[in-house]
Structure 1
Amino acid sequence: MSDLPQRAEAQTISALATETINPATANIDRLSPLEIVQAINTEDAKVAQAVEQVLPAVSQAISAIASRMRQGGRLLYIGAGTSGRLGILDASECPPTFGTSPEQIVGLIAGGPIATANAVEDAEDNPAAGRAELEQVHLTASDIVVGIAASGRTPYVLGAIEYARTQHALTIAVVCNPDSPLEKLVDITIAPIVGPEALTGSTRLKAGTAQKMVLNMLSTGTMILLGKTYGNLMVDVVATNYKLEQRASKIVQSATGLDAERALALLQRCHGETKTAIVVGKTNLTPDEARTQLAAHNAILRTTLEAIAE
């Protein structure tokens, strides 16, 4: 039987950096509204500095994630409470932004879908539930599991990571405390140490912000390595509404030099496929020929254009 709960409890809450009392905000209830937000903002300013310290680990993770995803692996975020919701948020933004399928990047949360909008606090205490989540999605050795836990000791996440290790999946921790039980289980640890919160133990504040910044980097950096951008243009954007249609049109304009009317007409001719439209606009190939060229170069636009130009 796993001893994860015992290992997690060995580090008491009072010892965690995220749970200690912040002397800078000890009298926050006596402050004016402006002084309250100034105090919170002062604490928030420390988050980017903490994330800066872990950029080497983030870059290592991005390289490893991209390598596995090129082979068909999935990126799975798993967490409880705020941490779980942040994973779901990042995963849900990837299909419209990068044209990924919903199955490629997935967010899992303790307590299931209902926990995205309603707190299910006791769900995080069950390591078997974390394991069951990964069993249900048929975890494989090609996949990546990112355990998100500010404390680094959440039993649900520890159970999931322990199971992921038995399946030889790549394991990554995003935590906000040093030397946590989670860190001891994973292949790569990303631990921005943000210190005590403005409200003691409210890790939806600095810790949550740091986690959001890291997850932004993990997904965005991975997608860049996978050729989902051309420069800083999101060339795999899926135009599913008016705003995104206009964004796709602007991307085609920026990449090809076409005016708005011609770019929109080209997108329609290419069935809304931004990459295809750019290849056609820059080379005068037909849409079908452009698709063939993209497929031959792993759908990486820059590589495709360079090969055509040779």
Structure 2
Amino acid sequence: MQQQGDQPTSRAARLDAFGGPETLEVREVPVPPVGPGQVRVRVTAAGLNPMDWIMTADAETAARFGLTLPVGFGTDYAGVVEEVGDGVSGFAPGDRVFGGALSRSVADHVVVDATGSTAADEIHHTPDGVDDRTAAALTIAGRTAAAAVAAVDPGPGDTVLVGGAGGGVGVFAVQLARLAGARVIGTGSAASADFLRELGAEPVTYGDGLVDRVRALAPDRVTAAMDLHGTETVHAARELGVEDARISTIAARIDGVTAANGASTTAETLEELARRVADGQVRVPVAATFPIEEIREAAALQAGRHVRGKVVVEL
């Protein structure tokens, strides 16, 4: 923390214009004050998600999320409580925490509502056994995966096709479906096959011929599907005889198919996921870490949509 006159300052990723990763800068900004019912967190790690750069790519999209320039970047965070406002209970300075702070997490400090319950503004205690880098990767992807899985309700006897299985949401969706007792077939590149097997999925290469390759793996029938990238898996699932009621998407809207949204999940769902991580039931693969000074490189890697696992910025 530095001083700018009488005002303490700290680092934050900022955009003065909407656009791609090249518009990101690291700036010295005033340390955000803490109001009644709020908690200020000293951030140690911030996880990146596709929605971070999608929200700030253009003015029209940003407006849908209530964002105006200049704007911060990133939503997932983990760190340590630095100060609590009047009326706050359940959190105290020194507590390890994680959560979401919409388009402002890549910063030394974030202020969140102590009772917030959505990924845009929430805080949870980090379980013992979960480090900050891992905790910083949980909120958006974990909530979204839980919603996608709940929409198709997998269980023993199901064979679930997961499109984009190695991505930030996919790594959680595969493991949650497996924990529910389902067999999982996950799409990815040929180079990701071993990674998908480690998660518990049977790998299948995406692209032309996907339906035939899935049929060869599961001649008895695929019963559910989650498309975590686009629409290819939806169309394949339909051709394989999966009912629309047992297909979910996160990045596309298709008539008859559930568009899963992490905002529909509860805080308890996220906390249960964190406990499963602490217990070793769920792995959180971190593909790469960057210092805040390399935020452009981190955002560019995430925006490429070919990362196996999560990208985390460390502060």
Same fold (TM over 0.5): no
What's the TM-score once normalised by structure 2's chain length?
0.34
What's the TM-score once normalised by structure 1's chain length?
0.34
The structure richer in helix per residue is 1
The structure richer in strand per residue is 2
Q: Which has the larger radius of gyration?
A: 1
